[in-house]
Amino acid sequence: MSPNNLFPIIQPKMLETLETNIQLNLLERAINASTNGIIITDAQQEDDPIIYVNEAFENMTGYAFNEVAGHNCRFLHGHHCQQEDLSKIRQALQEGKECCAVLKNYRKDGSEFWNELYIAPVHNAQNQITHHIGVQTDVTHRKQAENILQESETQFRQTFECAPIGMALVRIEGRFLDVNPALCEMLGYTKTELMRRTLLEMSHPDDFAEGKFLYRRCLQGEIQTFQLEKRYLTKDGSTIYALTRATLIRDENQIPLHYVVQILDLSCALSQHPVPETTLATKQVTPAKALPNYFHYDGLTGLPTRILFEEYLEEALWHQPQQGAVFFLDLDRFQIINESFGHGAGDQLLIAISDRLEELLQKDDFMARSGGDEFAIFVKDVNTLSQARQIAKTLQEKLTSPFTINTSEGKITTSDHFITTTIGLTLTSGHYSQEKGRNLLQNAEIALGRAKKKGKATVEVFDQTLGEKVWRQSRLETDLKKAISRQELYVQYQPIMNLVTGRLDGFEALVRWQHPELGFVSPGEFIPIAEETGLVIPIGYWVLDQACQQLQEWQQRFPECQDLTISVNLSGLQIKDPGLVQKVKGILEKTGLVGNQLKLELTETALIENVDLASQQLQQLKRLKIQLSIDDFGTGYSSLSYLQQFPVDVLKIDRSFVSAMTPDNHNLKIVQAVISLAHALDLEVIGEGVETGYQKDQLKSLGCEYGQGYYYAKPLGAVQATQVVQEDVGQ
Ligand code: C2E
Ligand code: CA
Ligand code: CA
């Protein structure tokens, strides 16, 4: 070993600075101390013979230097000269390049080992190759482990592909990494279709929560595997029940890699054995096709719906809570296109818009059609507001160039349409990062609401410093829009008593809102919001409809109570509604009530702000024999002379005057004055907010006809109110 001719091959460049002998000695020692085998061959001699090997080479191969010196290295390959990596080496050497390869080699005793080889040519000053240096590492152990792994992978793949049950490899964030044919068949999708979706999308929404909880427990290391009976939605919209088993696979550093999910369709089992001994028997079975895919995908654009968007968002944030922005887009004046060119044109436009917006999305971004002309977009890796604003601008600009659409059915006529967009946005970072996807989307929507107030084509950012009150207000405003359709509103009925006979005269219908997250919201809080947004109009008619239906039900059930009345509050906006009379008439006809069974309550303010229109509308209502009451009398203008202009029947004295009547406060003059004036004008009087027997007695002695308040009853649900009617009838 260490022949003298080792040193001349070290490149002259390297040696320029070396003071030859000392440094050369050092180099030789270093090479000998290396645990890698090192070989040097003489490239200028025929067949590239070995001229040097180090000690590690000798240990690795069992050959001593003098046994190999002067030979080409090929003796190491045994009979395996066809290895693919070998030809790679030969080619590289011919081209004068360095190369790496892993080869199966043989020791002197014939045993094989895996040799990871690095070979580099050495050039002289004339750029001729003089030598080759090879560095080799014994990687037998690694190679064996790899082989075992590969074998088990092959086995797994075979099992996976041929398994009779559905199997999938699912990424941590829910997308499919791989799916087997059985799963494709079970869910009715092709592999390509399925690979574009997530396991979550395939799941029945009612089972989201339970599944997610378990997947998260896996990630948090509480469990490694779980089993769950849940429902999946197939492509044709039917629901299947399946036993799901998921196992989280981690790497050697315990970093989660993916889930192996096995899905056994129980539907067949269920049909063969109708009452299986599983917990499924206790779950309500949704009939097949009950939940088509429209739950998740918008039929027109093919985009995810709001529901799916919220789920995506929650997942995205759960994995990377600090990054991203949510944009809520609303198309300005879209309604005009719909109205002027027809819904076909509107649909084309929506598709074209969603296509354009999608072009802007990066791999991890996603988008949904959240409603009619609204789109929601999540963009990942947005950290600052200025970045987010810039993206909003890009989104707006993307939609500024005209859209060409086919505007007349039958003959092809195209026209160009210009669209502007208003955007509300919120960053996912900061205070709300832990919030659910839904809240973030709502925040963006709230910002959109503010943007719309500013004008068209604007952008507003959700302001996290908004006080809780403002936030709540905006939230209520947003949510109130959906409250009717989501059946969050209901009506209560508060008895109005005849003070003379002590019997029930009727009820006032009062609307209630049970918010799914914020709990009970009082009308005192949401009615002003409804007034501001105009929502009080649909809400008002809805209450009217409910109340009239309720009265009709009572009349049918208790034929004796034909005189019972129902009082319904009418907002100032409804008085301005030109359709008011028709709508009221329609509801009366539908429920078969006669006009004098209905009392509409209006405030002075509502009347006085629209004197002309109000008196016209009220006259027409009077023709239907509907009774009209002035609500909260005493809190507004309290101008009886004004009131004379309106065909009013009843005055309701505001609660504040009634509550001021206590045994220690003998000053009843205001109430007394109001009652006598009302009587002078031929109006009946209702005292509101009667809470004590004393107040009832005083009102009665002052000649007030009716009383309403907690003394008699609080506003009651339909069932309790029905009991009140029944008791009164029984008297
Ligand atoms: P309002 O029309 O003056 O309704 C009477 C309010 O006084 C009701 O409050 C009722 O629960 C409350 N009240 C009744 N008796 C007593 C009592 O003895 N003591 C006290 N402290 N309060 C009593 P509520 O239901 O919170 O309604 C508040 C207001 O919201 C209503 O005042 C009305 O202006 C509005 N509102 C309620 N329902 C509707 C509706 O369907 N349409 C419209 N436009 N407004 C409504
Ligand atoms: Ca009222
Ligand atoms: Ca009132």
CATH code for the domain in which residue 156 is found? 3.30.450.20
Q: Note the pLDDT of residue 336.
A: 86
Ligand 2 centroid to Cα of residue 569, in Å, is 5
Q: Note the pLDDT of residue 387.
A: 93
Query: CA-to-CA distance for 132 and 103, rounded, in angstroms?
Result: 17
Which ligand 1 atom is the nearest neighbour of the CA of 570? 44
Per-residue pLDDT, averaged over 16-45, amounts to 78
Is residue 294 in some structural domain? no
CB within 8 Å of 557: residues ≥ 6 apart: 722
511 lines ligand 1 (CB under 6 A): yes
Nearest bound ligand to CA 539? Answer: 1
167 lines ligand 1 (CB under 6 A): no
If asked whether residues 435 and 582 sit together in one domain, one would say no
DSSP classification of residue 492: E
Ligand 2 centroid to Cα of residue 109, in Å, is 104
pLDDT band per the 50, 70, 90 thresholds, residue 21: low
Q: Note the pLDDT of residue 699.
A: 96
If asked whether residues 227 and 318 sit together in one domain, one would say no
Is residue 284 in some structural domain? no
CB within 8 Å of 231: residues ≥ 6 apart: 203, 204, 206, 207, 239, 240, 241, 242, 286
Residue nearest to atom 24 of ligand 1 (CA): 523
543 lines ligand 1 (CB under 6 A): yes
Q: Note the pLDDT of residue 666.
A: 62
Q: Note the pLDDT of residue 648.
A: 93
Radius of gyration of the chain (CA): 41
- The string of pLDDT tens digits covering residues 143-152 is 888 888 898 8
Q: Note the pLDDT of residue 322.
A: 63
Q: Is residue 405 within 8 Å of 349, Cβ to Cβ? A: yes
Q: Note the pLDDT of residue 294.
A: 47
Domain final position from 241, 275, 309: 275
CB within 8 Å of 122: residues ≥ 6 apart: 9, 11, 43, 129, 130, 131, 132, 133
Is the pLDDT at 384 greater than 90? The verdict is no
How many other C-beta atoms are found inside a 10 Å radius of the C-beta of residue 98? 12
Ligand 3 centroid to Cα of residue 632, in Å, is 4
Residue nearest to atom 45 of ligand 1 (CA): 569
Ligand 2 centroid to Cα of residue 666, in Å, is 27
Which ligand 1 atom is the nearest neighbour of the CA of 540? 42
Q: Is residue 608 within 8 Å of 636, Cβ to Cβ? A: yes
Helix, strand, coil proportions of the chain in percent (round to 5)? 45, 25, 30
632 lines ligand 1 (CB under 6 A): yes
156 lines ligand 1 (CB under 6 A): no
Which ligand 1 atom is the nearest neighbour of the CA of 491? 41
If asked whether residues 130 and 187 sit together in one domain, one would say no
Residue nearest to atom 46 of ligand 1 (CA): 569
Is the pLDDT at 180 greater than 60? The verdict is yes
If asked whether residues 179 and 53 sit together in one domain, one would say no
Ligand 3 centroid to Cα of residue 478, in Å, is 27
Per-residue pLDDT, averaged over 616-644, amounts to 88
CB within 8 Å of 423: residues ≥ 6 apart: 327, 328, 329, 330, 392, 395, 396, 448, 451, 458, 459, 460
Query: CA-to-CA distance for 460 and 452, rounded, in angstroms?
Result: 9
Q: Note the pLDDT of residue 19.
A: 58
323 lines ligand 1 (CB under 6 A): no
536 lines ligand 1 (CB under 6 A): yes
User: Angle at Cα 461 formed by Cα 460 and Cα 467, nearest 5°?
Assistant: 115
Domain final position from 122, 138, 154: 138
Q: Note the pLDDT of residue 318.
A: 72
Is the pLDDT at 537 greater than 80? The verdict is yes
Residue nearest to atom 21 of ligand 1 (CA): 689
Is the pLDDT at 174 greater than 90? The verdict is no
DSSP classification of residue 603: E
Q: Is residue 683 within 8 Å of 650, Cβ to Cβ? A: yes
Least confident of 233-247, 427-441, 596-610: 427-441
If asked whether residues 592 and 661 sit together in one domain, one would say yes
Highest mean pLDDT among 9-13, 254-258, 698-702: 698-702
Helices (H), 196-266: 199-202, 208-219
Q: Note the pLDDT of residue 217.
A: 80
Per-residue pLDDT, averaged over 615-637, amounts to 92
If asked whether residues 408 and 314 sit together in one domain, one would say yes
Is residue 468 in some structural domain? no
| DSSP-assigned states of every residue in 675-686 | HHHHHHTT-EEE
Per-residue pLDDT, averaged over 547-573, amounts to 95
Provide the domain limits for residue 91.
Answer: 3-138
654 lines ligand 1 (CB under 6 A): no
Query: In the structure encoding, which two tokens stand for residue 607, read together?
Result: 């009347």
- The string of pLDDT tens digits covering residues 34-58 is 889 999 999 999 989 999 999 999 9
Q: Is residue 42 within 8 Å of 130, Cβ to Cβ? A: yes
Q: Note the pLDDT of residue 286.
A: 34
Q: Note the pLDDT of residue 414.
A: 75
Is the pLDDT at 255 greater than 60? The verdict is yes
If asked whether residues 365 and 417 sit together in one domain, one would say yes
Q: How many domains does the chain have?
A: 4
Residue nearest to atom 23 of ligand 1 (CA): 689
Per-residue pLDDT, averaged over 279-283, amounts to 33
68 lines ligand 1 (CB under 6 A): no
Is residue 286 in some structural domain? no
713 lines ligand 1 (CB under 6 A): no
133 lines ligand 1 (CB under 6 A): no
What Cα–Cα distance (Å) separates residue 663 from each residue in 490, 666, 704?
A: 37, 7, 18
Which ligand 1 atom is the nearest neighbour of the CA of 632? 3
pLDDT band per the 50, 70, 90 thresholds, residue 484: confident
Is the pLDDT at 170 greater than 50? The verdict is yes
| DSSP-assigned states of every residue in 88-154 | HHHHHHHTT--EEEEEEEE-TTS-EEEEEEEEEEEE-TTS-EEEEEEEEEE-HHHHHHHHHHHHHHH
Three-state SS for 211?
Answer: helix
Query: CA-to-CA distance for 343 and 555, rounded, in angstroms?
Result: 44
Name the residue among 211, 212, 213, 198 with its Cα closest to residue 242.
211
Q: Note the pLDDT of residue 282.
A: 32
571 lines ligand 1 (CB under 6 A): yes
689 lines ligand 1 (CB under 6 A): yes
Q: Note the pLDDT of residue 317.
A: 77
Q: With left for phi above 0 and alpha for psi between -120 and 50, is residue 651 left, alpha or beta?
A: beta
Q: Is residue 306 within 8 Å of 328, Cβ to Cβ? A: no
What Cα–Cα distance (Å) separates residue 723 from each residue in 35, 349, 504, 626, 717?
A: 95, 55, 12, 26, 10
Is residue 235 in some structural domain? yes
567 lines ligand 1 (CB under 6 A): no
Name the residue among 114, 119, 151, 155 with its Cα closest to residue 135.
119
Ligand 1 centroid to Cα of residue 556, in Å, is 27
Query: Amino acid letter at 16?
Result: E
Nearest bound ligand to CA 653? Answer: 3
Is the pLDDT at 573 greater than 70? The verdict is yes
Is the pLDDT at 65 greater than 60? The verdict is yes
Domain final position from 431, 462, 493: 462
| Mutation to probe ligand 1, out of 484, 489, 510, 512 (largest number of atoms < 8 A from CB) | 510
Which ligand 1 atom is the nearest neighbour of the CA of 568? 41
Q: Is the pTM of this model over 0.75?
A: no
Computed over every residue of the chain, the mean pLDDT equals 85
Q: Note the pLDDT of residue 409.
A: 57
- The string of pLDDT tens digits covering residues 680-712 is 889 999 999 999 999 999 999 999 999 999 999
Query: In the structure encoding, which two tokens stand for residue 72, read together?
Result: 């080409």
Is residue 322 in some structural domain? yes
Which ligand 1 atom is the nearest neighbour of the CA of 690? 18
DSSP classification of residue 399: T
Query: Amino acid letter at 714?
Result: K
Is the pLDDT at 96 greater than 70? The verdict is yes
Q: Is 380 exposed, middle or buried (0-12, 13-18, 19+ CB in 10 A)?
A: middle
If asked whether residues 492 and 403 sit together in one domain, one would say no
If asked whether residues 565 and 639 sit together in one domain, one would say yes
Q: Note the pLDDT of residue 468.
A: 64
| Mutation to probe ligand 1, out of 490, 492, 527, 567 (largest number of atoms < 8 A from CB) | 527
| Helix (H) / strand (E) containing 50 | strand 50-53
Q: Is residue 395 within 8 Å of 360, Cβ to Cβ? A: yes
Residue nearest to atom 11 of ligand 1 (CA): 715
For the beta sheet containing 366-371, the strands, ordered from the edge strand earlier in sequence to the opposite edge, are 366-371, 374-379, 325-331, 421-427, 459-461
Highest mean pLDDT among 123-137, 369-383, 538-552: 538-552
DSSP classification of residue 596: G
Query: CA-to-CA distance for 214 and 246, rounded, in angstroms?
Result: 9
If asked whether residues 333 and 450 sit together in one domain, one would say yes
Query: Amino acid letter at 460?
Result: E
If asked whether residues 638 and 521 sit together in one domain, one would say yes
Query: In the structure encoding, which two tokens stand for residue 164, read together?
Result: 């009779």
Ligand 3 centroid to Cα of residue 590, in Å, is 28
531 lines ligand 1 (CB under 6 A): no
Is residue 611 in some structural domain? yes
If asked whether residues 133 and 153 sit together in one domain, one would say no
524 lines ligand 1 (CB under 6 A): yes
Is residue 288 in some structural domain? no
Is the pLDDT at 325 greater than 50? The verdict is yes
Which ligand 1 atom is the nearest neighbour of the CA of 715? 11
Per-residue pLDDT, averaged over 483-510, amounts to 95
Ligand 2 centroid to Cα of residue 697, in Å, is 22
**Positive/negative CA dihedral, 4, 8, 11, 13:** positive
Query: CA-to-CA distance for 553 and 336, rounded, in angstroms?
Result: 42
Place of tokens 């008699």: 712
For the beta sheet containing 256-265, the strands, ordered from the edge strand earlier in sequence to the opposite edge, are 176-179, 166-171, 256-265, 239-250, 225-233
Ligand 1 centroid to Cα of residue 683, in Å, is 21
> What CATH number corresponds to the domain at position 398?
3.30.70.270
Query: Amino acid letter at 216?
Result: R
379 lines ligand 1 (CB under 6 A): no
What Cα–Cα distance (Å) separates residue 21 from each residue in 8, 28, 153?
A: 12, 11, 55
